[in-house]
Amino acid sequence: MGGKGSGEFRNPGKTERRLSGDEAAVRDFLEELAQSGHSPRTLMAYRRDLDAFMRFLLLRGKGSPSDPSIDRTLALSYLFDLEQREYRPRSVLRILSSLRSFYQWLCRKGRCPSNPFEDLSGPRRPKTVPAVLTEREMATLLENRPGNSWEDRRDTAMLELFYLTGIRLSELAGLVRGDLSPGMDRVRVRGKGNKERMVPLLGVTRDLLQTFLHEADISPEDPLFAASPGGEALSIHQIGRIVRRRVRLSGLGDRGVTPHTFRHSCATHLLDRGMDLRKIQELLGHQSLGTTQKYTHVGLADLRRRYDQIRRKDVSDDDQGR
C-alpha cells in the first residue's frame, strides 16, 4: 500500500482492547468474499484496510463498525486522515472501495443502518498511459536468450506465452499443465473472480511449449512453469526477476519494463494491427470495455511523442541552417 502502513493508527495506550464484534464481522465478510472467488492477495488487502479502519475507530471511541454514530462526517474524516498521511490517490481509492464494500455487506446483513461511505468519492486518480514496447523492442527482448538450460527454455516459453496471450501476471503464475488443450492451440486461464476463459496460442508459442514440455513428465495438476523440474510453481516475484534479467540482456534497462508491460504491449500491438476492441476485451478478460479503451490512448500518446520528436528535429535543422 502507498504512503505509510496501516500501523499508523496504532495507539499503544488504547488499541490493546479489541472492538466488540468487529473480528466476527470482518471474518464473516472475508469468508463470503473467499467463497465468491476472490484471490488470497485481494483478501489480504481487504484485511489490512479493515484492520486500519478499526484502529481508527478505537481512537475515535467507537465500539463497533456498526455503531450508528459512524456517519458520513466520520468517513470523510478518515479519508482526509489518509491524504494527510500522504497515501497515494490509488491507495486511498482502494481503501475507499474496501470500506464501501464492507459497509454494503453490513447493511445487507442487517448489522448496520446505513453505509457512511456510500456516496463518497475519493481523490482523482491521475491518468497514466500504460508503458509499452514497440514490436521490434519486444522481439529483441524475447530473442535475447542467455543459453539453452532447462531454466532458459522454460523462461523463453513462458515469456513468449505471456506476451502473445496478454494474460495477467497472476494468471500466468497459476497455470497448470492441464490448462493446455490437447493440441496446445489454446490455454484455459482463470481470471478475476475465478472466471475462466480460453485464450488461443500462436504457432511460435505452441512450438516452444512442446519443446520445453517434451522433456518434462508432469501430470495435469502440476504447474506449467515450475521453479525447478517437478517443483513448485514460479511465484509472481520470481517471474518478475526473470523479466528483469531478460530486460538487462536485451539492453532495455532504462525503459521501465515490468511484467505488466507484456500485457500492455500485447493489447496495444493487437489494436495497432486492427483487432476489434471487443475481441481484445474478451482476450484480456476485462469486465468493462472502458478498461480496454485505455489502450487507444497509448497509440495517441505515441503519435504525440513522435510528432514532438519531428518538431524538435525541424526546429534544430532550421537553427543550424541560419
Q: Identify whether 192 is a catalytic site residue.
A: yes
- What is the grid cell recorded at 157? 516459453
Active-site residue among 206, 246, 263, 269?
Answer: 263
Q: Which phi and psi (to 5°) does residue 104 adopt? A: -60, -40
Cβ neighbours around 230 below 10 Å, total: 11
Active-site residue among 72, 192, 294, 297?
Answer: 192
Q: Identify whether 255 is a catalytic site residue.
A: no
Q: Identify whether 62 is a catalytic site residue.
A: no
Q: Say if CB 98 and CB 45 are below 8 A apart.
A: yes
DSSP secondary structure string for all residues of 229-277: TT-PBPPHHHHHHHHHHHHHHHT-GGG---HHHHHHHHHHHHHHTT--H
Q: Dihedral sign, CA of 230, 235, 241, 245?
A: positive
Active-site residue among 47, 111, 260, 294?
Answer: 260
Q: Which residues are paired to 197 by β-bridges?
A: 189
Active-site residue among 46, 78, 87, 295?
Answer: 295
Q: Identify whether 295 is a catalytic site residue.
A: yes
Q: What share of the chain is helix, strand, coil (3-state, %, to 5)?
A: 60, 5, 35
Output the CA–CA distances (angstroms, integers) from residue 242 to 86, 140, 239, in the order listed: 32, 15, 5
Q: Identify whether 260 is a catalytic site residue.
A: yes
Query: Residue 234: which of 182, 297, 171 has the closest Cα?
Result: 171
Active-site residue among 168, 206, 264, 269?
Answer: 168
**DSSP letter assigned to residue 223:** B
d(CA 113, CA 68) in angstroms, rounded, equals 7
The HSE-up count of residue 310 (CA atoms within 13 Å, CB side) is 6
Q: Identify whether 263 is a catalytic site residue.
A: yes
Query: Residue 206: which of 241, 240, 182, 237 has the closest Cα?
Result: 182
d(CA 78, CA 101) in angstroms, rounded, equals 16
Active-site residue among 55, 100, 246, 286?
Answer: 286
Q: Which residues are paired to 189 by β-bridges?
A: 197
- What is the grid cell recorded at 34? 473467499
Q: Which residues are catalytic?
A: 168, 192, 260, 263, 286, 295
